[in-house]
Amino acid sequence: MSDTTQNGSVLAADGTPLKRSLARALRRQKIRALLLIAPLLLFVMLTFIMPIGDMLFRSVENDIVSKTLPRTVVALRDWDANSGEAPGEEVFTALAADLQIAAEAKLHTRVGSRLNYETPGISSLFRKAGRKVKKWDVENDGPFKEQFLEIHKGWGDPDVWRTIQTYSPKFTNGYFLNAADLQKGADGPEWRPEDEQIYWLLFKRTMFMSMVITISCIVLAYPVAWILANLPARSANLLMILVLLPFWTSLLVRTSAWKVMLQQQGVINETLVWLGLVADDARLVMINNQFGTIVAMTHILLPFMILPMYSVMQTIQPTYLRAAKSLGATNWTAFWRVYFPQSIPGIGAGSILVFILSIGYYITPELVGGTKGVFISNRIAFHISSSLNWGLAAALGAILLAVVLVLYWAYDKIVGIDNVKLG
Amino acid sequence: MADASNHDAFVEFERVQKSYDGENLVVKDLNLSMPKGEFLTMLGPSGSGKTTCLMMLAGFETATHGDIRLGGTSINNIPPHKRGIGMVFQNYALFPHMTIAENLSFPLEVRKLGKSEREEKVMRALDMVEMGAFGGRRPAQLSGGQQQRIALARALVFEPELVLMDEPLGALDKQLREKMQFEITHLAHRLGITVVYVTHDQTEALTMSDRVAVFEDGRIQQLAPPDKLYEEPQNSFVAQFIGENNTLEGVVKEINDGVALVQLDNGDLIDAKPINVSQPGERTRVSIRPERVEFNKDRMPEGAHTLKAEVMEFIYMGDIFRTRLRVAGKDDFFVKTRNAPDQVRLTPGQEIEIGWLAEDCRALDA
């Protein structure tokens, strides 16, 4: 019933272009689908996407200096940080005015602790100055430079002023530099002193340990998944329950159980000592280090490897192996050339799951990792809840997110994401 | 039954038994011997043990008892990959992650053939099944019939002397299946290979095979060429299983000169050829093919016993007519007649007399 106009577009029976009439027919369906997912969409927006967006924004946000010390920021613009001298009187006058207002509102300590992240010691300068400035008459009590220096001679240090000047803009890359063990030097970013470099090491360790955990999961899960996929349905179900059993136990309980197992007075060490394999004074250190974290996390993440592998292996028909053998392949060749290549999508899916889960894992490394086995996520948690440096935490989180996305992209390039089967 | 000690036997089963659970025998006392170059079909309903036999021959199942010999040597303890038997599977089992050429090259690679030799053989095998242009494709890109040809080519590429086929045409539509039946038989005869073919489709078995082994209940019920099997079934299972069949039950009255007089349960008398009956008084089930039933009085043999029949239904099928009759109190008696210009078309309700040649009506076991 369609017709074609001169320009080639197909017309519906009533003469409207077919495309438009199709779009109209589908519109109702689209609206209905949208309404059905709307509650979830709203929920995810409010509780997930917006907080993450807010956190990511905090990693570059820096309006506290320019908001609390507006006059000082303006006055500092002309000061040359490389002059080696503290700025002149007009800056101190502006600072006195700013600080008085800030101290009334009790905001001066916040600026202090913000700048303290960058240059340790600034916090106390602000706290002491704040107390004094409250009593001054800003109009008549000048000049202020001497008075500030009397409160604390740190106010004469050009480094302090450079920090204030550097962090005047509303946005900063300071958190990100910090997260990559860099700092703002006199001429652009520079490495932090060797003994202060921590994040680069933590990122490397997180990557390395996640990789080790993923590989141990593959090695342990592959035979289990194979047995599951090849057993008769009834026994397979029973075994499947055993695989899923850990999911029904609290993560904390499982991790604590590993503590009991692995500690120096724990089950394994006691058994080894009792068997005489290990001397009583040379008990193995298996916890509060990388080994403990790897063992506990491999155990916890194993089901995430087994399940996708199982679902892929289930679809590989046993006749493939038979066919290979009838064509003259030994058991090993049949497995390696015919079965294994077909099971790769399962390995890929499991690896992505386990690797991405472990890269952001927090509880287990926190409990059994000690100092050598902690992940980057533990440092993020520290900055969120203890040091309250949310900007740095956000920057670390953003880097972690970027790394995961890059790995995901690389995986797609190398293996192909359509090769991944979750079930 | 075949003689297991046959000298030119290529494939031999001798007193083979198979049990999976230690309680029931799936294959009970199987004896079979095949000469080289034969096309033998194992035919039977599902669960009759035919596939188990094939799997034992391929080496995927071990015989619980008995001896399986290939070319005179026992292969009971030889693993499947050393038997050198080609096999075509029901679902083709083409490796999905390899191209067609790689699939065909696989058996040659594991036999460590050189690259140029492999390529040459793969090309020849592909040409043999007229799929020469498809070497670079993946199995998923081919139709069912094309995959079937590739599976066949892969089973033949390493030049085995024996090829097993496990319901290879089961997944194809009717027309393609008939076409492939001819291609497989022609190919097998041209290459001179020995084929053991498993199917539950009797038409396939009859059209393709040199000999057919009808399986039921773990035993070979009859092993015979297709025409013998159809025309001279040895027992009522084979008669029922192969082709369409009318059965009537009764008691043997007397046996004279190779003709048995059978009294049906309603008292009527008929003539039959005694097959599984030897003396009067035995219960029997007589079997007669629908196309051998005659109702034209001129063509009936003289003095033959006839039965009264009432026409229940006339079914026009194009090339033939099928007429359902009520005979001896049962209304599932069929007659098949050719659609010829002088053919009578019976009408429902009509009363007729039917008869047949005594040798077409076989008195079998009850």
Q: What are the tens digits of pLDDT across the range A278-292?
A: 888 888 888 888 999
> Residues A58, A390: contact at Cβ < 8 Å?
yes
Written as one string, the DSSP assignment of B122-166 is HHHHHHHTT-GGGTTS-GGGS-HHHHHHHHHHHHHTT--SEEEEE
Q: Which of B91, B106, B158 sits opposite A319 (nearest CB)?
A: B91
Helix axes A158-166, A122-133, angle to 10 degrees: 90
Q: How far apart are the first and last CA of chain B?
A: 21
Chunked in runs of 10, what are the mean pLDDT values of chain B (366 residues)?
Answer: 57 91 88 92 90 92 91 90 91 92 94 92 91 90 90 92 91 86 91 92 90 91 92 88 88 86 86 85 89 82 80 91 89 89 86 85 85
Residue B111 tokens, joined: 């036999």
pLDDT above 70 coverage of chain A, percent = 96
> Residues B150, B142: contact at Cβ < 8 Å?
yes
Chain A nearest-CA distance from B297, in A, is 58
Is the pLDDT reported for residue A384 higher than 60? yes
Average the pLDDT over A203-218 and give the result. Answer: 94
Closest CA to A351 of A208, A221, A214, A216: A214
> Residues A147, A138: contact at Cβ < 8 Å?
no
What residues of chain B lie within 8 A of the CB of A334, using their CB?
Answer: 81
Q: What are the tens digits of pLDDT across the range B108-139?
A: 999 999 999 999 999 999 998 888 889 899 99
Q: Which of A317, A322, A327 sits opposite B106 (nearest CB)?
A: A327
Q: What is the pLDDT of residue B139?
A: 93
Those residues whose C-beta lies under 8 Å from the C-beta of residue A182, and which sit 6 or more positions away, are A189, A190, A191, A192
> What are the structural domain ranges in chain A?
3-58, 63-172, 199-419
Could you give the count of Cα atoms lying within 13 Å of A137 in the half-sphere of its Cβ?
A: 3
A318 reaches B (C-beta below 8 A): no
What residues of chain B lie within 8 A of the CB of A328, using their CB?
Answer: 81-82, 84, 107, 110-111, 158
Is the pLDDT reported for residue A1 higher than 60? no
CB contact under 8 A, B79 and A325: yes
**Is A199-419 a CATH 3.20.20.70 domain?**
no
CB contact under 8 A, A333 and B110: yes
Task: Write the DSSP symbol of residue A280.
Answer: G
ipTM, two decimals, is 0.81
> Residues A273, A280: contact at Cβ < 8 Å?
yes
Ordered structural domains, chain B, with CATH: 9-236 (3.40.50.300), 244-364 (2.40.50.100)
Written as one string, the DSSP assignment of B234-273 is SSHHHHHHSS--EEEEEEEEEEETTEEEEEETTS-EEEEE
CA A366/CA A314 separation, integer angstroms = 37
> Residues A356, A204: contact at Cβ < 8 Å?
no
Written as one string, the DSSP assignment of B22-33 is SSSEEEEEEEEE
